[in-house]
């Protein structure tokens, strides 16, 4: 068995992989059990920004003070773990499991992402562009709140499932035609399960 590793510093993290097939689930999967150790991809402001860029949430790192970004990273983890609980409850008991305080919390995060329209002159005439004021570092979390809202309101939660591997905590949206996806990734958990089943059969003989 692999030794338990302490959480690695941001620079030494294994690469994060988009396995969730929905931004809200990719967000949940920013912490995972890998090789017997817990990995946290949002452990600092720098790590959060790096993940936001990798996941395509923002195009380039914003200019905020390190202390402020570290605080946003802590809030991101709070948002993520709150969502994990809400998702588990909603899957078990339906949308009624999302309580009024949950909605208040989610809506507050959504509000941070308020955008406004701006009119610009272009060669072909006037056009409007949507601008998101990014003077508030907390607004970095608004697209994640929007993804959570999208999943809860428009997603088919029967297709939102956890990887079947017992040691794995990854979530995914099953977009396969047959709706029989079982693993976060064939390479990570599918093959391991296959090997374990093989060993089990081998031992039985
Ligand atoms: Zn897995």
Nearest to 192 by CA among 35, 67, 31: 35
How much is the pLDDT for 85?
Answer: 97
How close is the Cα of 77 to the center of ligand 1, in Å? 20
At residue 178, the pLDDT reads 95
Q: What pLDDT is stored for residue 13 in this prediction?
A: 83
The domains found in the chain, sorted by start residue, are 17-111+138-204 (1.10.3300.10)
Residue 88 CA to ligand 1 center (angstroms) comes to 17
Output b/e per residue, 12-39; b: 16+ Cβ within 10 A: ebeebeebbbbbbbbbbbbbbebeeeeb
SS3 content of the chain, % helix, strand, coil (to 5): 50, 15, 35
Distance 188 CA to ligand 1 centre (A): 6
| pLDDT score at 1 | 45
Q: What's the predicted TM-score (pTM) here?
A: 0.84
Q: What is the pLDDT of residue 4?
A: 45
What spacing in Å lies between the alpha carbon of 154 and ligand 1's midpoint? 25
Task: Give me the pLDDT at residue 11, please.
Answer: 60
The H or E element containing residue 37 is strand 37-40
Query: What spacing in Å lies between the alpha carbon of 48 and ligand 1's midpoint?
Result: 22
Orientation of helix 66-93 relative to helix 142-154, angle to 10°: 10
Please return the burial class of 109, using the count of CB atoms within 10 Å of its CB with bins 0-12, 13-18 and 19+: buried
Pair 75, 140: CB distance under 8 Å: no
Show the low-confidence residues of the chain (pLDDT under 50).
Answer: 1-10
| pLDDT for the residue numbered 204 | 64
Distance 196 CA to ligand 1 centre (A): 14
Q: Measured in angstroms, how far is the CA atom of residue 38 from the centroid of ligand 1?
A: 13
Q: Alpha carbon of 99 to those of 85, 90, 112: distances in Å?
A: 12, 10, 21
Cα(115) to centroid(ligand 1), Å: 37
Q: Give the residue among 27, 17, 19, 18 at the shortest CA–CA distance from 151.
A: 27
Full DSSP string of 117-146: EEEEEETTEEEEEEE---SSGGGGGHHHHH
At 134 the pLDDT is 64
Instruction: Give the Å distance between the CA of 184 and the centre of ligand 1.
Output: 4
Sign of the four-CA dihedral 17, 23, 26, 30: positive
What is the pLDDT, as a whole number, of residue 7? Answer: 44
Q: Give 192 Cα–ligand 1 centroid separation in angstroms.
A: 9
CA of 189 to the centre of ligand 1 (A): 5
């Amino acid at each position: 068995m692999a030794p338990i590793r302490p959480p690695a510093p941001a620079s030494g993290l294994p690469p994060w992989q988009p396995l969730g097939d929905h931004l809200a689930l990719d967000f949940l999967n920013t912490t995972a059990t890998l090789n017997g150790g817990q990995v946290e991809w949002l452990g600092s402001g720098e790590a959060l920004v790096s993940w936001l860029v990798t996941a395509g949430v923002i195009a380039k790192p914003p200019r905020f003070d390190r202390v402020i970004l570290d605080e946003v990273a802590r809030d991101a983890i709070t948002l993520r773990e709150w969502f994990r609980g809400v998702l588990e409850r909603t899957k078990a008991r339906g949308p009624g499991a999302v309580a009024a305080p949950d909605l208040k919390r989610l809506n507050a995060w959504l509000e941070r992402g308020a955008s406004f329209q701006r009119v610009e002159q272009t060669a072909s005439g006037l056009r409007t562009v949507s601008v998101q004021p990014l003077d508030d570092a907390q607004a970095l979390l608004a697209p994640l709140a929007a993804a959570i809202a999208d999943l809860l309101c428009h997603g088919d939660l029967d297709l939102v499932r956890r990887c079947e591997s017992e040691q794995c905590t990854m979530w995914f949206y099953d977009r396969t035609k047959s709706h029989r996806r079982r693993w976060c990734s064939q390479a990570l958990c599918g093959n391991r399960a296959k090997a374990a089943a093989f060993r089990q059969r081998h031992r039985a003989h």
